[in-house]
């Protein structure tokens, strides 16, 4: 028997049967737990329609229209502008699920016990996954100016770093209202140690920020600590070159840098760090050693002569024999090898091969030999292709709601007559499907809670990365 729970889902609960056997109850309660656990997901644009979807569907969401004011003379007609809503295509390319089995002895437990013992842990895992996916979209803003400097934030400069991010958003004409800042734990600690954010006479909150170790709203940002925000740490193998500018500093926006003092080749696609900012190499001159590099984007800072350029050594894709290929759309674990130092970690940006284009991914799960990305592959990657890792440090994200889109659609329910109970709940632009099937061999009820989602960049000018 299948049920579709209406949009006012939280007002509908079945009470005429055992709760564990009512799929709507699982769907409803899972959404309640999920919403209370997620952080950044509640503060991005949500696109939801009460229309069944399936994996791979393309959803057309909209970037808000923009207009320009102009003068009108006494005898002039008004200037009519087209109200064009820019269409953004978002693939529903992620079906996220958590499954667990209830034994017969557990099915009759109380609602409270079922929530505490099974549903909460399941939804915390779901929320962490979704949060990591959304936090990972900071990579979509990395090709524009950034505030702060990698491995550089301290209590002494945290206030200034945050002002850098604010200035960039002001220059980009991002709305002053509705700005959020999501930071990893170490960055939050640096901000909390800065007396500008806590001293009662400076904050005007009668000391509540200091008592509660809460940043709240500062400098126009609602600040949230996200445990899944990117904090990249590790002894990654690197080599250090220096800029060779013949004594004349390189100006903002320059892309070509002559380098010296370093050994060996810098390969196209490799990530480098210059003055605390991450860049990707788009072209090189010279092999052993490399004598010049071209960056994928222009410099964000003036670079003096002999400035260190730290080059992070790539690894390689290790395609197992059993895998026919990491094709476009692949969304499972990707194996790697050839790293001589630390291997990629959660939150780290990676690219593949020699491409320095726009396909920058973020690692959301990692082991010593595999990584899982924030979204499916946009293009196929071959065995032994380079796995280019971005520099370590903290990557916070300041943004408004319309910088990113989180798209959700309800999944279709199983066909009638296949022995499954299924229901869907919808709340605040998010849908959850619950499917119950009984396993006669293990004598247990299999509960699967899943959602169909997609993420997309709406407007790069509405977000900025804060480095620390």
∠ at Cα 132 (152, 398), nearest 5°? Answer: 50
pLDDT, residue 60, reads 82
pLDDT > 70 in the chain, percent: 88
pLDDT, residue 211, reads 36
β-sheet bridge partners, residue 136: none
pLDDT, residue 175, reads 95
Residue whose entry in the numeric block shows the structure tokens 């903290």: 394
Q: How many CA atoms lie within 13 A of 449 on its CB side?
A: 30
Q: How many CA atoms lie within 13 A of 467 on its CB side?
A: 24
The gap from C-alpha 11 to its chain's centroid, in whole angstroms, comes to 32
Give 214's pLDDT tier (boundaries 50, 70, 90). Answer: low
Class of domain 238-312: mainly beta
Q: What are the respective helix, strand and coil percentages of the chain, to the nearest 5?
A: 20, 35, 45
Return the HEC string of 339-356. Answer: CCCCCCCCCCEEEECCCC
Task: Provide the whole-model pTM.
Answer: 0.87
pLDDT in tens, 252-294: 999 999 999 999 999 999 999 999 999 999 999 998 899 999 9
CA–CA separation, 205 and 199 (whole Å): 9
pLDDT, residue 197, reads 77
Range list of H helices, 117-234: 120-135, 158-171, 185-193, 195-198, 200-203, 208-212
Does the pLDDT of residue 317 top 50, yes or no? yes
Residue whose entry in the numeric block shows the structure tokens 């840098």: 257
**Section 366-377 average pLDDT:** 97
CA–CA separation, 305 and 374 (whole Å): 37
Domain boundaries, the chain: 1-63+88-233+398-468, 238-312, 315-391
Instruction: Provide the phi-psi class of 12: left if phi over 0, else alpha when psi is between -120 and 50, else beta.
Output: beta
pLDDT in tens, 160-171: 999 999 999 999
Does the pLDDT of residue 111 top 90, yes or no? no
The gap from C-alpha 409 to its chain's centroid, in whole angstroms, comes to 19
Q: How many CA atoms lie within 13 A of 258 on its CB side?
A: 9
Three-class DSSP category at 436: strand
Class of domain 315-391: mainly beta
């Amino acid at each position: 028997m299948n049920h579709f729970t209406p949009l006012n889902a939280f007002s509908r609960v079945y009470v005429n049967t055992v709760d564990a056997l009512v799929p709507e109850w699982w769907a409803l309660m899972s959404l309640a737990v999920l919403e209370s656990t997620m952080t950044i997901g509640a503060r991005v644009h949500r696109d939801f329609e009460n229309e069944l979807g399936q994996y791979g569907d393309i959803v057309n969401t909209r970037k808000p229209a923009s207009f320009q004011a102009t003068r009108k003379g006494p005898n002039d007609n008004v200037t009519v502008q087209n109200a064009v809503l820019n269409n953004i295509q978002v693939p529903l390319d992620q079906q996220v699920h958590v499954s667990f089995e209830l034994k017969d002895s557990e099915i009759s437990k109380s609602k409270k016990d079922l929530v505490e013992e099974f549903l909460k842990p399941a939804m915390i895992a779901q929320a962490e996954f979704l949060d990591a996916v959304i936090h990972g979209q900071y990579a979509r803003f990395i090709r524009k100016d950034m505030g702060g400097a990698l491995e550089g934030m301290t209590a002494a400069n945290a206030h200034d770093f945050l002002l850098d991010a604010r200035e960039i958003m002001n220059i980009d004409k991002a709305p002053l209202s509705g700005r959020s800042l999501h930071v990893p734990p170490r960055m939050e600690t640096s901000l909390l140690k800065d007396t500008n954010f806590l001293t009662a006479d400076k904050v005007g909150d009668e000391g509540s920020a200091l008592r509660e170790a809460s940043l709240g709203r500062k400098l126009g940002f609602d600040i949230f600590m996200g445990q899944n925000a990117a904090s990249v740490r590790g002894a990654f193998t690197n080599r250090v070159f220096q800029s060779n500018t013949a004594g004349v500093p390189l100006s903002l926006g320059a892309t070509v840098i002559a380098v010296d003092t370093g050994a060996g080749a810098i390969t196209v696609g490799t990530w480098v760090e210059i003055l605390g900012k991450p860049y990707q190499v788009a072209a090189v001159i010279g092999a052993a050693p490399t004598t010049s590099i071209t960056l994928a984007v222009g410099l964000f800072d003036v670079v003096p002569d002999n400035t260190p350029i730290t080059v992070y050594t790539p690894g390689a894709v290790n395609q197992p024999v059993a895998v026919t290929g990491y094709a476009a759309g692949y969304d499972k674990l990707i194996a790697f090898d050839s790293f001589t130092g630390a291997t990629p970690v959660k939150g780290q940006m990676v690219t593949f091969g020699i491409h320095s284009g726009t396909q920058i991914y973020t690692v959301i799960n990692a082991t010593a030999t595999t990584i899982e990305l924030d979204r499916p592959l946009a293009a196929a990657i071959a065995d032994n292709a380079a796995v280019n890792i971005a520099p370590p440090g903290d990557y916070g994200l300041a943004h408004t709601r319309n910088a990113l889109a989180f798209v959700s659609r309800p999944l279709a329910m199983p066909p009638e007559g296949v022995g499954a109970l299924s229901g869907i709940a919808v709340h605040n632009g998010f849908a959850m499907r619950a499917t119950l099937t009984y396993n006669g061999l293990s004598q247990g009820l299999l509960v699967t809670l899943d959602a169909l989602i997609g993420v997309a960049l709406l407007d790069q000018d509405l977000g900025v990365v804060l480095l620390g």
